[in-house]
Amino acid sequence: MKIGFIGLGKMGLNMVTRLVQHNHEVVAYAPHAESVDAAKAQGARGVNSLEELVADLERPRVIWVMVPVGEPTENTLAKLGQLLDEEDIIIDGGNSYYRDSIRRAEELKACNIQFVDVGTSGGIWGLKKGYCLMAGGSKDVYDFIEPLLRDLAPENGYDYIGPHGSGHFVKMVHNGIEYAMLQAYGEGFEIIEAKKEFDVDLGKLAGLWQHGGVIRSWLLELAQDALNEDPKLDSVLGYVEDSGEGRWTLAEAIAEDIPAPTIAASIFERFHSRQVESFSAKLTAALRKKFGGHILKQRGKE
């Protein structure tokens, strides 16, 4: 199948490479020429603009968009809406908010342009292992693009979820669960690392748990790799970013009156990781001194 691909970052370039490896004809575009050159090196045809990309595809055109969430996605889809013809297909494989995907599907429908939201999981390992793909939109359009999904995914790694927005919705919750799992692994290994009298080899332990342990997972496999490379993680700064999906998952839980304390705690811990020094902690220490006479550690003093 011939496909246009917009966005050649960490995941996008690997997806282009995997498609080319499966004999799809890929026309690739990104704002930076070096990214386009990288795609060309993998066997894609590189172009210098959205206009050129659209002109290079036959109808019904299929274009996969893999750009950062928010304004980049909004602007790209708006421009494509002006360039494409009726029955052309846009696939948004980024981490868009599902309500935005529902709105965008309606806006494109007014121009008779088809839209599919595809939640995409797999990270930088997707090239080798394949991507887990969760598609929302028209079932007929899903059936048309299924060869692309099949070749991007591992066996049983893609499926039709439901109407517009559903693909990005379940990917949002997937990432919320991921936040909680990462937090649990982090806390557990910190408890073990703190028990100096046992001097546990954390990388070796992670590998042990992979064989029959109830908590075995791909994330634990990656933890084993990280801990074997840097047992004390001395080279890592404990600053944890978030890309939005956890916040959206928590907002949805609140809207639906669903208790999600574990996911909520994991999000707040990420915020905590970014504080060099917490004002709330300083105030708590000051108050303990005031009401109970507890020792107060001050700058430059014992």
The whole-number pLDDT of residue 301 equals 60
Q: Domains of the chain: which residue ranges?
A: 2-163, 171-273
Architecture of domain 171-273: Orthogonal Bundle (1.10)
Per-residue confidence (pLDDT) for residue 292, from 0 to 100: 86
The number of angstroms, rounded, from the C-alpha of 244 to the middle of its chain's C-alpha atoms is 9
Q: What is the pLDDT of residue 130?
A: 97
What architecture does CATH give domain 2-163?
3-Layer(aba) Sandwich (3.40)
Residue 5: partners with Cβ closer than 8 Å, 6 or more residues away: 12, 15, 16, 19, 26, 27, 28, 29, 39, 44, 63, 64, 66
**Concatenated DSSP letters of 42-79:** TTPEE-SSHHHHHHHSPSSPEEEE---TTHHHHHHHHH
Nearest partner of 164 among 218, 113, 201, 240, judged by Cα: 113
Q: Residues 159-194: pLDDT tens digits? A: 999 999 999 999 999 999 999 999 999 999 999 999
C-alpha to C-alpha distance for 116 and 164, rounded to whole angstroms: 7
Stated pTM of the model: 0.93
pLDDT at 289: 87
Residues 6 or more apart whose Cβ sits within 8 Å of residue 22 = 151
Residues of the chain with pLDDT under 50: none
> Each residue of 189-236: pLDDT tens digit?
999 999 999 999 999 999 999 999 999 999 999 999 999 999 999 999
> For this structure, is 178 an active site residue?
yes
Exactly one of 25, 178, 252, 269 is catalytic; name it.
178
**Does 128 participate in catalysis according to the annotation?**
no
Query: Crossing angle, helix 10-21 and helix 139-152, to 10 degrees?
Result: 90
